[in-house]
């Protein structure tokens, strides 16, 4: 839960804490320098946008798409309340996250409506082909009968 919820306990803490500078540029720079000096692979440390959700459940595919479209690179159920509390105390903050699971957003995801529409189109296609065969057979049958009748006469 966000530590800013609830009654204001002290006038020392702002009701609406600005978080535009939540993460210390100085500490972020030190983290990247340390990574370089330790010869870590360049992909070992990255910057991105952390989206906090209250949990305690993993994201649905729809929530995952929403958060990704909103610019999130990582989604988690912790960390941000601690960042808010630390910033209230005017501490410098560096956030390092170990990503342990990917948000499951199936690439082939289609809504049920889309699946039904595709199925109906497929069924209509089969019905249409069957109708064309029947109409064509009837046409050629009548034409043959007409040709045969003209030969007899």
If one counts every other C-beta atom within 10 angstroms of the C-beta of residue 40, the result is 12
Is 59 catalytic? The answer is yes
Q: Which of 12, 47, 59, 114 is catalytic?
A: 59
What tokens appear for 15 in the block? 């009701």
Cα–Cα distance between 69 and 107 in angstroms, integer? 15
Category of 55 on φ-ψ map: left (φ > 0), alpha (ψ -120 to 50) or beta = left
Contact 94, 28 (CB under 8 A): yes
Cα–Cα distance between 4 and 119 in angstroms, integer? 50
What tokens appear for 143 in the block? 């034409």
Among all residues, which ones are annotated catalytic? 59
């Amino acid at each position: 839960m966000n530590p800013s919820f609830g009654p204001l306990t002290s006038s020392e803490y702002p009701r609406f804490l600005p978080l535009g500078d939540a993460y210390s540029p100085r500490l972020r720079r030190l983290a990247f320098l340390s990574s370089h000096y330790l010869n870590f692979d360049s992909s070992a440390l990255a910057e991105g946008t952390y989206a906090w959700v209250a949990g305690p459940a993993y994201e649905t595919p729809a929530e995952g798409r929403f958060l990704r479209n909103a610019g999130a690179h990582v989604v988690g159920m912790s960390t941000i309340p601690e960042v808010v509390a630390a910033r209230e105390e005017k501490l410098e903050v560096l956030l390092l996250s170990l990503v342990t699971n990917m948000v499951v957003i199936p690439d082939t995801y289609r809504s049920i409506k889309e699946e039904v529409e595709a199925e109906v189109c497929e069924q209509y296609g089969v019905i249409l082909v069957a109708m064309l065969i029947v109409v064509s057979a009837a046409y050629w049958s009548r034409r043959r009968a007409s040709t045969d009748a003209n030969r007899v006469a």
